[in-house]
Amino acid sequence: MNERSVGVKRSAAVVGFVVWALFATQALADGADLFAPSLEVGRALDARRALPLTAFYAKPDPAKPAEAGMLVRSEPATEYTLPPGVTATRILYHSRTAGGADVLASGVVLVPYGKPPKGGWPLLAWSHGTSGVARACAPSRMTTLFYNWEGLYEYVLLGYAVVATDYVGLGTEGRHAYLDMLSNGTDVIHSVPAARAAVPNLSKRWVVVGHSQGGLSSLGVATLESTAKDPDFLGTVSLAGASDVEEGLNGMLSARLPVLNGLLAFWIYGAKSVYPELDPASVLTEKALALYEKSVEDGCSAASGAFAAIPSDEMLKPGWEQNKYLRQFMERNRPGIKPMRGPLLLVGGGDDILFTESASLRVFQRLCDAGVAVQRNVYPGLGHDPLVLWFAAGSDRLDQGSLRRAAGPEQLSSEARNESMRRPFAGARPDRRSAGGASGFRHPFPRC
């Protein structure tokens, strides 16, 4: 078969994917649809996408501690509604809690259709947004992998292999450290060697892309990589996630939307996962505490819907912000307070009421002051969830080439460092020939 015929077949395959995607996007329009206006509606959402808990997620017997990132087991996964030709492998691997204890996490590796390029499939570590805090809320236990066409499958069709962690406590036993950027970032980092152990032909080099909770988690990855210094880590994309947790909470409270109450309950749960001494009764109202004890781990959208039954101003007790454990949690979740490794791309929507434009500006300025290679893109009119779909399908996604030159200023000549600072994300995309075309950044967004 000559090169021309291979190119024709590849082009036909790409066209076929695009056509199929147009129909699939309509059929799978739920996307990362967590919020529910009631318990009943939430239960229906959960049931529509749920997969059963199987023995795959159980601890091995006997359970033995192991190096973080060590693969425990893997299996082919055929239950997901994937684009044609894309393969999925479920993984179980060792990670670490906030206190450094050995723990298991699960996830999925998605591999594009076709022959891998030289050096293996470019690897993207996906960090998902809020899905809940119960074991059932693992994206790998959902037929849609939670995000499906809302910013996940698009990367596979662009030619990336994607490793998507569930985070500890989602799928596996243990508590989920919701909104703790370092705990969630740890799970992302350790998913990478586990993916390589489970699936052949994955590139050594990798990037992290995350949305919402995952956008904050991706900044946790950048923080951890400032000391880990993995030479194959190429950079971070944070979608609607560049904010101090405290500012995000203030945004939720200011919105006064009962449908967001579940996020507050999940946050208390996550803070207690990091600080077991935290007593939810000290910060939740009597009405909210009763719901918390009954519902916070009872489903995903169902839990979200349960908390929508009370007014937003009846969730937290007056003076909650003075609780010492919540103060410590909020302090450890301020991106840029600790050193971070660039390059970073912060992407936000001008109409995002959770991770606001002003909050991302403060994180951006903090990183600039610290000398981190960072670029910030803000798009007027886009809200929290539309942003992730737009970025995955839009013109400002990662462009052609290599992030090698921007992988870390300490590894670069002064000339190359200056170039990486000017163009921090000039190209984490796979080769155009195997992934289809895309243009790079066209707008005068601030960078430093």
Could you tell me the CATH number of the domain that includes residue 67?
3.40.50.1820
What pLDDT shows up at residue 391?
A: 86
- The count of domains in the chain is 1
- Name the residue range of residue 111's domain: 31-246+332-435
In the prediction, which pLDDT does 400 show? 32
pLDDT computed for residue 394 by the predictor = 67
Q: What is the pTM of this model?
A: 0.86
Rg, the chain, Cα only: 21
pLDDT at site 419: 41
Q: Is residue 148 part of a domain?
A: yes
Strand ranges across the sheet with 233-239: 71-76, 87-96, 102-111, 161-165, 121-127, 202-211, 233-239, 344-349, 374-379
Kindly state whether residue 83 falls inside one of the protein's structural domains. yes
In a domain, 229, yes or no: yes
Q: Which residue has the tokens 């450094």?
A: 100
Whether the link from the prior residue into 62 is cis, omega within 30° of 0, is yes
Is the CA virtual torsion 116, 117, 120, 121 positive or negative? negative
* φ and ψ of 277, to 5 deg: -70, -15
User: What's the pLDDT score for residue 410?
Assistant: 34
Walking along the chain (448 residues) 10 residues at a time, the average pLDDT comes out as: 39 39 41 89 96 96 92 97 97 97 98 96 97 98 95 93 98 97 98 98 97 97 97 96 95 93 98 98 98 97 97 96 97 97 95 94 96 94 90 60 34 35 40 31 56
Query: Has residue 195 been placed in a domain?
Result: yes
Residue 259: inside a domain, yes or no? no
Give domain status of residue 268, yes or no. Answer: no
In a domain, 377, yes or no: yes
Alpha-carbon gap, residue 164 to 138, rounded angstroms: 10
Is 224 inside any structural domain? yes
SS (H, E, C) the chain: CCHHHHHHHHHHHHHHHHHHHHHHHHHCCCCCCCCCCCHHHHHHHHHHHECCCCHHHCCCCCCCCCCCCCEEEEEECCCCCCCCCCEEEEEEEEEECCCCCEEEEEEEEEECCCCCCCCCEEEEEEECCCCCCCHHHCHHHECCCCCCCCCCHHHHHCCCEEEEECCCCCCCCCCCCCCCHHHHHHHHHHHHHHHHHHCCCEEEEEEEEEECHHHHHHHHHHHHHHHHCCCCEEEEEEECCCCCHHHHHHHHHHHCCHHHHHHHHHHHHHHHHHCCCCCHHHCECHHHHHHHHHHCCCCCHHHHHHHCCCCHHHCECCCHHHCHHHHHHHHHCCCCCCCCCCCEEEEEECCCCCCCHHHHHHHHHHHHHCCCCEEEEEECCCCCCHHHHHHHHCCCCCCCCCCHHHCCHHHCCHHHHHHHHHCCCCCCCCCHHHHCCCCCCCCCCCEC
